[in-house]
Amino acid sequence: MDREEFYYVDKTGMIEDLIQNRSEVNLFTRPRRFGKSLNMSMMKAFFDIGGNPALFEGLEISEKKELFCEKYMGQFPVISISLKSVEGLSFTAAGDALKTVIGTEAFCEAFLEQNPEKIEEIFSDYLWNTISIRDTASSKKENFYHGIACYKKNCKVVLG
């Protein structure tokens, strides 16, 4: 396919709207397949520390460099979570799944930021909430311990 067959819609004006009209909580609703994930990825790329400013060159938001780009671009740690894996047969089960998703993302961000105090805090909370008597009893040890693995930006928590 030729690139000329595609259209690009510059949605970076949404970043300006968010900054100017922010509140304590912002809810972004769109119908299915209407760009929610794309919008969230764009905002993460804009606000997150270590982002690539070149992604926004020539776009609407870059026209207001002093007002928005210099002040907000790449200035914040961003935790981005997806609720796709949050499910459960009860409200409590779904809440526990959500806690795991948020905890995993926070743990990975702490590793990326090389923040040992935050890593220790998150890991201690994780162990306190998940360790069982079989993890410590000498005669009835489990064959698998709770595992956490981080690979650059992909982090997984494995519960055994």
pLDDT score at 118: 81
Mean pLDDT (the chain, rounded): 75
Q: Bigger pLDDT: 39 or 157?
A: 39
| 119 burial type by CB count under 10 A (0-12 exposed, 13-18 middle, 19+ buried) | middle
- What confidence category does residue 81 fall into, taking pLDDT thresholds of 50, 70 and 90? confident
CA distances to 17, 124, 128, 130 from 138, in Å? 59, 21, 19, 18
CA–CA gap between residue 94 and residue 103 (Å, rounded): 14
Q: What is the pLDDT of residues 16-28, one digit of tens each?
A: 988 888 888 777 7
CA distances to 15, 99, 108, 120, 134 from 77, in Å? 16, 19, 12, 18, 37
Cα 84 versus chain centre, distance: 13
Which residue do the tokens 């992604």 mark?
55
Neighbours of 104 (CB within 10 A): 19
| In contact, 104 and 51? CB cutoff 8 Å | no
CA–CA gap between residue 102 and residue 16 (Å, rounded): 27
| In contact, 160 and 142? CB cutoff 8 Å | yes
pLDDT score at 3: 65
Q: What is the mean pLDDT of residues 78-103?
A: 81
